[in-house]
Amino acid sequence: MRLTIARKIALAVIGIVFLCVGTMAWVSSSNLQSGFVTYLNQVQGKDLDKLGDLLARRYQAERDFEWLRRRPEALRDVLDQMTPELAPEAAPRRRPPPRRGARPEEREPPRGAREAAPPRGARDPMAFGPRLSVMDAAGDMLIGPPDVAGSLSRQVLVDGKVVATLYLRPLRQVGAAGDSAIVFLREQVRDIVIVAAVMVCISILLAFFLARHLLRPVAALRDVTARLAKGDFEARAPLLSRDELAELALHVNAMAEALEESERKRRKMLADVAHELRTPLTVLRGEIEALLDNIRKADVNALRSLHAEVLHLNKMVDDLHQLTLADAGDLHFDWDRIDVCDLLRPQVERYRARAAKSGITLKDKVYGQRLMVRADASRLTQVIVNLLENSVRYTDDGGKIAVVLALDGSHALLTIDDSAPGVPEDEHAAIFDRMYRVDAARTRERGGSGLGLAICLVLVKAHGGTIVASSSTLGGVRMVLRLPLDMSAK
């Protein structure tokens, strides 16, 4: 039989219940025995007072205790007088020994009268006699063992004079108290055992029910994860409770949604990549076929067209390769302590000339002091080039571009604003997705592969920085790049 979690939980609960109930039953029975013995000792202390009164009256009648000296039968007769209600009919009391000077008819029982022998234990059901010792006024032991250490004592007084001392050794265990005490205790222990057994049986049933109830969400989660493992990313776990398992179900559902979204983006990117590769390949094929059919001459213009398409393909392959390395964690960096100002200025000057050809005004404001960051110079340059390239490519002719590098606390803050056209506000975060296009029907002259900003996001995160897009006051898009400064000494 497979030991499932439900069975483990049930067995653990049953084991704990067995331990607790068994311990409770053992402690209860032990306390009952010790408490019952203490109670019997207290009760027999009162019986000892009654016995002292009987012996005092007998002493007044006999004027001494010679009738008791080493005569256990005489002590049992006195005990019968103390507790006659225990066996009033089944155990007729033995006649007390005749008093001194009694007449013969008082000494002998009536003819034909025979005293029935009392049943065993009926005359002293609490085993009072074997633990009793009686000592006379002179210190001689009349009856009972001489060892009275730790015994309960009572003095027998007659006319204010101590005529004897009673010693009763306390009970140590219930077995010494007689058959009636043993029967009573057995009944109590039996009841405790019955109650404990019933509690254990009920606990076993509840343990299996509780285990199955608690693991219902786990079974649902198991089914959902099995479906996810098979590629069914639409699977969702039901919320059957409000505890930690419900939180786990929420996390599993969030993971399923993330996997579904990732799969959707993967398929879309593959379709976009296939589309991007098909266009230059189609152009190359058409150019080459035209050259082979002598429709077009193999001149410089034809070669330049072929070269441009090859460069376009090469750029896309390089971008895809970088993203693949980043996803696999194999994108390597040559870390160094560099100045962002020195890195930015030459790139701004380079793109200022390109912007001027389209009538775009590019203004810059670079921080006057050194802004040192820990970065890979080539990777960070790639980020700056991609941002400037996008601004120059997508800004309408006659527009404006503003580049500002400033100090923002412990970060270097690079802001690039451009004029129209802009990006819808609800799509600012989406422009960093792979193969994202604001205008799906963009021309190849103004459109890229759709991977540039995705690569920027990966590289900036690797540098411990952030990059976000928002609306620009110039009417286009504002790109904000934040990089932590390197505060270490040179």
Secondary structure (3-state) at 384: helix
Residue 179's pLDDT is what?
60
Tokens of 403: 């580049």
Residues 158-188: tens digit of each pLDDT: 888 898 998 988 877 665 555 666 777 778 8
- The answer to whether 59 touches 163, Cβ cutoff 8 Å, is yes
| Torsion over CA: 178, 179, 184, 189 (sign) | positive
Residues 370-391: tens digit of each pLDDT: 889 999 888 898 889 889 988 8
Residues 279-317: tens digit of each pLDDT: 778 878 888 888 888 887 778 887 887 887 788 778 777
Q: Which CATH number fits domain 244-328: 1.10.3810.10, 3.30.1360.30, 1.10.287.130, 3.40.190.120?
A: 1.10.287.130
Residue 180's pLDDT is what?
64
- Residue 137 has, within 13 A of its CA and on its CB side, a CA count of 13
For residues 127 and 169, give the distance between their C-alpha atoms in angstroms, rounded to a whole number. Answer: 11
Average pLDDT score, the chain: 79
Residue 416's pLDDT is what?
93
Share of the chain above pLDDT 70, in %: 83
* pLDDT at residue 213 is higher than 90: no
pTM comes to 0.49
Q: Please, which pLDDT band fits residue 488 given cuts at 50, 70 and 90?
A: confident
Report the alpha-carbon angle 222-226-230, nearest 5: 170
Q: Please, which pLDDT band fits residue 417 given cuts at 50, 70 and 90?
A: very high
**In the chain, what are the domain boundaries?**
1-93+123-214, 244-328, 336-484
| Helix pair 216-229, 244-292: axis angle to 10 deg | 10
- The answer to whether 265 touches 433, Cβ cutoff 8 Å, is yes
* pLDDT at residue 114 is higher than 70: no
Residue 442's pLDDT is what?
40
For domain 336-484, give the CATH number: 3.30.565.10
Share of the chain above pLDDT 90, in %: 8
Please indicate whether residue 77 or residue 446 has the higher confidence score (pLDDT). Answer: 77
- Lowest-confidence pick of 136-140, 348-352, 472-476, 486-490: 486-490
- The answer to whether 67 touches 97, Cβ cutoff 8 Å, is yes
Go through 162-184 and write b for each residue having 16 or more CB atoms within 10 A of its CB, e for each that does not: ebbbbbbbbbeebebbbeebeee
| Mean pLDDT confidence for 107-132 | 52
* pLDDT at residue 259 is higher than 60: yes
Rg (CA), the chain: 54
Residue 104's pLDDT is what?
47
* pLDDT at residue 193 is higher than 60: yes
